[in-house]
Amino acid sequence: MELVVEKRLLPSRRLSIAAPVLSTLAALLISAVPIYLGGVNPLYGYTQLLRGAVGNKLALTETFVIFAPLLLCGIAVALAFTCKFWNIGAEGQLYCGGLIGSLFAVYATSVPSIIAIPVMMILGFLGGAAWAAWPAILKVKLKVDEVVTTLLGNWVMTYAVAAILFGPWKNPVTGWPESPVISDTTNYPILIEGSRFHLGIIIAMLVALAFYVIIRKTKWGFELLGIGGNQTASYAAGINVSRQIILAAIVSGGIAGLAGIGQVAGIEFHMKTDLSPGFGYTGVVIAMVGALSPIGVVLASFLMAVIVQGTQAMHRATGVPWALAETIQGIILLCLLVGLFFTKYRVKLRMR
Amino acid sequence: MLDVILITGVLSATMRLATPLVYGTIGETFSERAGVLNLGIEGMMLMGASTGFLVGYTSGNLWLGVFAAAMIGVLLGLIMAFLTVSIGAQQHVAGLGLTIACSGFSFYLYRVTIENVGGVQPHVEPFATIPIPYLSQIPIIGEVLFDQHALAYLGLILVPLSAFILFRTRFGLALRAVGENPSAAATAGIDVFKMRYLCLCIAGALSAIGGAWLSLAQSGMFLPGLTQGRGWVCIALVVFANWSPFRVLGGAILFGGIDAVQLSLQSVGWQIPYQLFLMLPYVLTIAALIAVSRRARAPAALLSAYKRED
Amino acid sequence: MANDDFVVEMRDIVKTFPGVTANDHINFQLHRGEIHSLLGENGAGKTTLMNVLYGMYRPESGEIRVNGKRVLFDSPQDAIAMRIGMIHQHFMLVPAMNVTENVILGLRSNRVVVDEASAEKRIGDLASSYGLKVEPHSFIWQLSVGEQQRVEILKAVYREAHILILDEPTAVLTPNESKDLFRILRKMKDEGKSIVYISHKLEEVMEISDTITVLRNGKLVANVLKKDTSKVELAKMMVGREVVFTLSKPPTKIGQPVLQVSNLSALNDRKMPALRNVSFDVKGGEILGIAGVSGNGQRELADVLTGRRKVTGGRINVCGTDVTDVTPREIVDLNVGFIPEDRVGVGLIMGLPILNNAIIKKYRDFSKGPLLDYRVASDYAKHIVSEYGVKTPNIAYPTRTLSGGNLQKLILARELARDPTLLVASQPTRGLDVGATEEIRAKLLDERARGRGVLLISEDLDEILSLSDRIAVIFQGEIMGIIDAESAKLEDIGLMMAGSKRMGES
Q: What is the pLDDT of residues C142-181, one digit of tens each?
A: 888 788 888 999 999 998 999 999 998 887 776 778 888 9
**H-assigned helices in C17-174:** 46-53, 76-81, 99-104, 116-130, 145-158
Nearest by CB to B169, from C80, C97, C114: name it: C114
pLDDT at B305: 62
B125-154 mean pLDDT: 78
Distance, CA of C290 to CA of C483 (rounded, Å): 11
* Count of pairs with CB atoms under 8 A, one residue in B, one in C: 75
B2: pLDDT confidence band, cut at 50, 70 and 90? low
Q: Which residues 415-444 on chain C approach chain B with CB closer than 8 angstroms?
A: none
CB C343 within 8 A of CB C415: no
Cβ atoms of A66 and A308 within 8 Å: the answer is yes
Q: How many CA atoms lie within 13 A of C158 on its CB side?
A: 28
∠ CA C406-A222-C383, rounded to 5°? 40
Rounding to the nearest 10 degrees, give the CA dihedral for residues B189, B194, B199, B201: -170
Q: Is pLDDT of C246 > 60?
A: no
* Whether residues C160 and C269 fall in one domain: no
- CB C330 within 8 Å of CB C486: no
Average pLDDT, integer, range B115-141: 72
**Strand ranges (E), chain B:** 130-131, 147-148
Q: Indicate if C218 and C367 belong to the same structural domain.
A: no
Q: Is residue C38 part of a domain?
A: yes
Give yes or no for residue C242 having a pLDDT over 60: no
- B293 → closest Cβ in A144, A151, A163: A144
Q: Does B92 touch chain A (CB under 8 A)?
A: yes
d(CA C135, CA C58): 36
Which residue stretches of C424-470 are H helix? Answer: 434-449, 461-467
Domain range summary for chain A, segments of one domain joined by +: 63-289
At C506 the pLDDT is 40
Cβ contact C349–A229 (<8 Å): yes
Confidence at B294, pLDDT banded by 50, 70, 90: low
Residue C371 lies in a domain: yes
By C-alpha distance, which of C179, C169, C165 is closest to C213?
C165
- Chain A with chain C: Cβ pairs closer than 8 A: 79
Answer with the residue of higher pLDDT: C143 or C349.
C349
CB-nearest to B309 from C56, C106, C113 is: C56
What's the average model confidence in pLDDT over C258-276? 90
Q: What average pLDDT score do residues C17-27 get?
A: 84
Question: Which residues of chain B neighbour A138 with C-beta distances below 8 Å?
Answer: 290, 293
Confidence tier at B271 by pLDDT (50, 70, 90)? low
Report the distance separating Cα C395 and Cα C400, nearest Å: 11
* C286 and C403 within one domain: no
Q: Which of A222, A25, A203, A236 lies closest to A118, judged by CA?
A: A203
Say whether pLDDT at B87 is over 80: yes
User: Which residues lie closer than 8 Å to B287 by C-beta, 6 or more apart?
Assistant: none
Q: Which residues pair with C196 in a beta bridge?
A: C36, C165
Q: Which helix (H) or strand (E) holds C274?
A: strand C273-283
| pLDDT single digits (tens) C298-312 | 999 999 999 999 999
Q: What one-character DSSP code corresponds to residue C457?
A: E
The total number of residues written for chain C in this structure: 506
Same structural domain for residues C190 and C315?
Answer: no
Residue C457: which domain range?
Answer: 256-334+453-506
Interface test with B, best of A77, A333, A343 (most B CBs within 10 A): A333
* Residue A86 contacts B, CB cutoff 8 Å: yes
* Burial of C136: CB neighbours in 10 Å, binned 0-12, 13-18, 19+: buried
C60 lies in the same domain as C205: yes
Is the pLDDT reported for residue C84 higher than 90?
Answer: yes
How confident is the model over C466-478, as pLDDT tens digits? 899 999 999 889 9
pLDDT for the residue A15: 74
Contact B80, A334 (CB under 8 A): no
pLDDT of residue C293: 75
Does residue B210 register a pLDDT over 90? yes
Strand partners, C219: C216
Q: By the 8 A CB rule, do C398 and C353 touch?
A: yes
Listed residue (B142, B146, B129, B149) closest to B4, CA to CA: B142
> A333 in contact with B at a CB cutoff of 8 Å?
yes
Contacts of A304 (CB under 8 A, 6+ apart): A70, A74, A282, A285, A286, A329
Give the CATH number for residue C499.
3.40.50.300
Identify the pLDDT of residue B310: 34
Residues C266 and C232 in one domain: no
Query: Residue B41: which of B81, B77, B85 has the closest Cα?
Result: B77
Examine the domain organization and report whether C392 and C326 are in the same domain. no
pLDDT of amino acid C1: 44
With beta carbons less than 8 A apart as the criterion, state whether B108 and A344 touch: no
Tell me if C438 is assigned to some domain: no
| For chain A, the helix, strand and coil percentages under 3-state DSSP, each to the nearest 5 | 70, 5, 25
End-to-end CA separation in angstroms for chain B: 70
Strand C194-199 and strand C35-39: the pairing is: parallel
**Confidence at B309, pLDDT banded by 50, 70, 90:** very low
Q: Residue B20: its pLDDT value, please?
A: 94
pLDDT computed for residue B31 by the predictor: 95
Q: What is the pLDDT of residue C405?
A: 85
Q: How would you classify residue B303: left for phi > 0, otherwise alpha for psi between -120 and 50, otherwise beta?
A: left
Is the CB of B188 inside 8 Å of chain C's CB atoms? yes
**Could C349 and A219 be called an inter-chain contact, meaning their C-beta atoms sit closer than 8 Å?**
no
CA C159 to mean position of chain CA atoms: 28
HEC assignment per residue over chain A: CEEEEEECCCCCHHHHHHHHHHHHHHHHHHHHHHHHHCCCCHHHHHHHHHHHHHCCHHHHHHHHHHHHHHHHHHHHHHHHHHCCCCCCCHHHHHHHHHHHHHHHHCCCCCCCHHHHHHHHHHHHHHHHHHHHHHHHHHHHHHCCCHHHHHHHHHHHHHHHHHHHHHCCCCCCCCCCCECCCCCHHHCCCECCCCCCCEHHHHHHHHHHHHHHHHHHHEHHHHHHHHHHHCHHHHHHCCCCHHHHHHHHHHHHHHHHHHHHHHHHHHHHCCCECCCCCCHHHHHHHHHHHCCCCHHHHHHHHHHHHHHHHHHHHHHHHHCCCCCHHHHHHHHHHHHHHHHHHHHHEEEEEECC
Average pLDDT, chain B: 85
Domain shared by C340 and C288, yes or no: no
Name the amino acid, one letter, at C480: M
Q: What are phi and psi of A264, to 5 degrees?
A: -65, -50
- Which range scores top for mean pLDDT: C115-129, C315-329, C423-437, C489-503? C315-329
Distance (Å, rounded) from C-alpha C388 to C-alpha C412? 8
A144 contacts on B by Cβ (under 8 Å):
289-290, 293
User: Is C111 a residue whose pLDDT tops 90?
Assistant: no
Print pLDDT tens along chain A (352 aa).
Answer: 677 777 777 766 777 778 888 888 898 899 898 888 878 888 888 888 898 899 889 999 999 999 999 999 999 999 999 999 999 999 999 999 999 999 999 998 899 989 999 999 999 999 999 999 999 999 999 888 898 899 989 999 999 999 899 888 888 888 788 888 898 899 999 998 888 999 999 999 999 999 999 999 999 999 999 999 999 999 999 999 999 999 999 999 999 999 999 999 999 999 999 999 999 999 998 998 888 999 999 999 999 999 889 988 888 888 888 788 888 888 988 998 898 888 878 888 877 5
Q: Find the CB nearest C57 among B168, B183, B309.
A: B309
CA distance B281 to B300: 28
